Structures are given as C-alpha cells and as structure tokens.
Amino acid sequence: MSGRDRSYERGGVKMAFTDTPGPDTQTFVLVHGIGMGRVVYAEVGEVLARRGRVLALDLPGFGDSPEPGSAATLEETAEVVARFVRDEAHGPAVLVGHSMGTQIVSEVALHHPELVEALVLIAPTVNRYERTAARQAMRMAQDVAGDGPKVLLLGMWEYAKTSPIWFLNKLRFMLRHRLERICPGIDTPTLVLRGETDRVCPRRWVSEVAEALPRSEMREIPGRGHEAIIKSPEPVASMILDFIDGEGSVRSR
C-alpha cells in the first residue's frame, strides 16, 4: 500500500499502521484476520484511497506490531482498535474487517457506535456449526488448496511473523467469541461479504450473520474463497464503494 508507515502507541500497546491519504469524504479503517497483517489489504486499500483516507493496521502481536506482553481477548483488542479510531480517524470511519477482524470491528460497532459510520464484514468468523480448532484448520486447508501462489506465499510470510503462543492464545479467544450473539445489537449499516467458494465461512452461516444484523446487505464474491482480499482488489473494493454510495449508502440512512 503506498502510504506512510506509522506507529500508534497508547496504554502500553503499540501498533504499526499504514496511513494512505485520500479525499476528505471518507475514512476507512482496515482490520486483518488471525495470523495475518495489514499487507493483506494492500491492493484493496489502494482502490479505497481514491475515495478517502485509509488506515490499515497490524493488530498487537501480528505483522509488524510487537506483542504487548499479555494475551488480550477479542473484546479487549476491540477496545484498542476503538481508541485507535478515536485518535487517528478524527471522526466516524468505515470499519472493514476480514475473518477474525470481523469479530473485532463488530465489537467496536456494538460498544462505540459513534465511531463507526459503516461496517464491512468479509468472511465473518467463527462458523458456529464448526467451532473447533481442528475443524477450522481443516476448512482453511481445503480453502487455500485452490488458491494461487500469491495467497500461499503471503500467508506463510505473515504467519511466520507471529509467535506460536500468541497465535494459539488469539485462536482460543477467537473460537470463544460469539459473533452471532452481538449482531442483533449492532445498528450500524453493514455489508456482509462471502467468497463464493469459501469453505471456512459457508453460505448458511454467513446468511445467519447477515440476518441477525438489523441493517445489513449480504453479497457473494464470485469465484473467491476465504482470502478473497489477497488475490486481487476487485471486486471487493468496488463492492465496498458501491455499498457506501448506492442502495446501502450510509449518508442517506
């Protein structure tokens, strides 16, 4: 992502993030999934920056952000992200989460609705019908088997940056979190995206998430799996912008 790499620090937690300037009409905050980092949004962020400022962050212990020294639940991590949005976005932002990131941005929207103009949940986790580490690992292996080398190499590089203990702690909190329970309390306009071939997030589960959200729209990404945002920026970026501008326009609601 062509932007300025910066560091955010507050309360003993430090996060690396990329700040890409854009028009003043919108601010996008991009939150990655478990084991990954802000690099997964590099190409999507470039497209979104044509519409507004883009802040893509590395959650604590992932990517280029150091581990803060103690494990934090997803709810506690969401509070860190909320402070980041308040301090850096300077106004309500469009929060985009992928995989575990959907759980975190949803928590922010639930507890800090004043910070969130709209939500985008890409491949929301964790499927309540397969909420075990073994089942999730199997589904991820099935999903990436059909992806090209770009997805595999980037994933391996990012996972190598994360310590096994930190990863396992976050996986435990990720599996414990119940996205379906908090969705009914989120009144933020929300776009729910699912890759057409995503084995981690099957249609039945993602449809339930979308239906539980009071103000949501669900769309499928043709020919894509769980890592839809890595393969290429489109059509995900356009889907997000269409939601902001079209029938899902947050400014008209």
Q: If you average pLDDT over residues 99-105, what whole number do you get? A: 96
Domain membership of residue 155 as a residue range: 4-245
**Measured distance CA(123)–CA(108) in Å, rounded:** 17
Is 241 within 8 Å of 25 (Cβ atoms)? no
Residue 252: the pLDDT is: 36
Residue indicated by tokens 């902001």 = 244
Q: Is position 157 within any domain?
A: yes
Per-residue pLDDT for 87 more than 50? yes
Asked whether residue 251 is assigned to any structural domain, the reply reads no
Quote the pLDDT of residue 204. 96
Taking the C-alpha atoms of residue 91 and residue 89, their distance in angstroms, rounded to an integer, is: 6
For the cut 50, the answer to whether the pLDDT of residue 253 exceeds it is no
**pLDDT recorded at residue 72:** 85
pLDDT tens-place string over residues 138-183: 777 766 655 554 544 444 445 556 677 777 888 889 899 999 999 9
CA-based Rg of the chain, rounded to a whole angstrom?
16
pLDDT higher at 198 or 179: 179
Q: What is the CATH number of the domain that holds 195?
A: 3.40.50.1820
Is 177 within a domain? yes
Does residue 54 belong to any structural domain of this protein? yes
Q: What is the pLDDT at residue 147?
A: 55
Report yes or no on 250 lying in a domain.
no
Q: What is the DSSP letter of 67?
A: P
Tell whether 253 is covered by a domain: no
Question: Look-up: residue for tokens 């969130």?
Answer: 116
Whether residue 9 has pLDDT greater than 70 = yes
* Residue 56 falls inside a structural domain: yes
Query: Is 99 within a domain?
Result: yes
Of 43 and 228, the structure prediction assigns the larger pLDDT to 43
* Three-state DSSP class for residue 13: strand
What is the total count of domains within the chain? 1
The whole-angstrom separation of Cα 120 and Cα 33 is 13
Task: Tell me the pTM.
Answer: 0.90
